[in-house]
Amino acid sequence: MTPQHRLLLPTTRGAEQALVDELDHIGIHGAVADRGVVRLQAPIEAAYRALLWSRVASRVLVCLGDFHAPMAEDLYRGAGTIPWEDHVDPKKTLMVEVVGGSETIRHSVYAAQRVKDAICDRLRDRVGARPDIDLRRPDLRVHVHLRNDRATISLDLAGEGLHLRGAGRDTGRAPMKETLAAALLWMTGWPRHPSTPLVDPMCGAGTLLTEAAAMGLDLAPGLLRPRWGFAGWRQHEPRIWDRLMNEARERRTAGRGRPLALFGADASDHMIDVATGNAKALGLEGAIRWARRGVEEARPPAGVEPGIVVTNPPYGERLGETAELFGLYAELGDRLRQRFLGWTAFVITAHGPLVPALGLKPRRRHVIHNGPIECRWLEIPISSAAPQSDGPGWRRE
């Protein structure tokens, strides 16, 4: 019988259902959404498939233990009951990271120290050796989550965060993580219908559109990553991983050249250069059309049927900044209302006072976090009339 693992897939707060939908789409069924995480009981192949194909998950964790730990010594004792000799090679390097806390365990560094001590003490007793600690590039990461006097200890199969797609990216001044961009796209429904036109009139570094292009061309987000967290795990199964990697390579080859209707515009020549460079780094040349165009010039591309507008305008973090953005939001709302007839717009913003400035009534407001900022992903139907067209100006990079 194939061994089953307790898998935990952390994600952006508010993106839990988007991750469940994505996992179902890539063939991983039975996931359950929780607060900031998706839980799943599945064989290791499902974990590997999520590592390769999930764009919304931030990590893939294999849970080894969950226990009551009101005090640091309880954390040490509970961690010591885990059979680390089955998971950790003492010749490899190790790192323990702790997130969360409790009323009595408030210092993550000390909590990590106690878990590390438990691991090393058990390995020294059972196999006569202990691993070295590497806080920068360990062979194996142990992830500890503390909440309400309970500790959950897992192995991080990703290593570094899954938002790192394996290619260098210029983020610009207000970066959006790739995992958040992917979650927002899933909330629009676009990934299930990738032939639908998609326009970002304020594209910045192009994260929303490059994520969409990679989805449409069937490019696995993990395919280009050079390093994985499971490399130092004793239960890693290279045969299964290699098979999935070969499948991902074949799908990338088959997906090249698929026609996509993706369009990005920005007022800054520099940001258009950044966006095109980011797309090129991922091998997405030609998949997106770009234009140097301010929001006051926003319009649908010529000859394109109504589709979806997605955009991440600046929303400021201080009152003065917010006040300065009212004109920008009013301009965006006017252009959507006048020119994107028949489209559905999705706009992310953190500030309620800016929403009325759009002059458009959202049909839904999806709550999602951009880092520590609670945002709204506004779903705004424009109308059912035929769209207006534009003149020349889009260029393909």
Average pLDDT over residues 14-21: 98
Predicted confidence (pLDDT) per residue in 258-279, tens digit: 999 999 999 999 999 999 999 9
State the Cα–Cα distance between residues 48 and 50, nearest whole angstrom.
Answer: 5
Residue 103 structure tokens = 């009323």
CATH architecture of 5-156: 2-Layer Sandwich (3.30)
Q: How confident is the model at residue 379, as a pLDDT?
A: 98
Predicted confidence (pLDDT) per residue in 186-224, tens digit: 999 999 999 999 999 999 999 999 999 999 999 999 999
Nearest CA among 326, 262, 335, 345 for reference residue 294: 335
Predicted confidence (pLDDT) per residue in 32-77, tens digit: 999 999 999 999 999 999 999 999 999 999 999 999 999 989 999 9
Q: Are 40 and 30 in contact (CB under 8 A)?
A: yes
Q: Please, what is the Cα angle at 283 between 279 and 288, to 5 degrees? A: 45
| Burial degree of 75 (CB within 10 A; 0-12, 13-18, 19+) | buried
Q: How confident is the model at residue 174, as a pLDDT?
A: 54
pLDDT band at 3 (very low <50, low <70, confident <90, very high): confident
Nearest CA among 76, 68, 86, 81 for reference residue 112: 76
Q: How confident is the model at residue 191, as a pLDDT?
A: 97
Q: How confident is the model at residue 107, as a pLDDT?
A: 87
Average pLDDT over residues 231-259: 96
- Residue spans per domain, the chain: 5-156, 178-217+257-396
Average pLDDT over residues 297-313: 95
Instruction: For 178-217+257-396, give the CATH class.
Output: alpha beta
Predicted confidence (pLDDT) per residue in 344-373, tens digit: 999 999 867 889 999 999 999 999 999 889
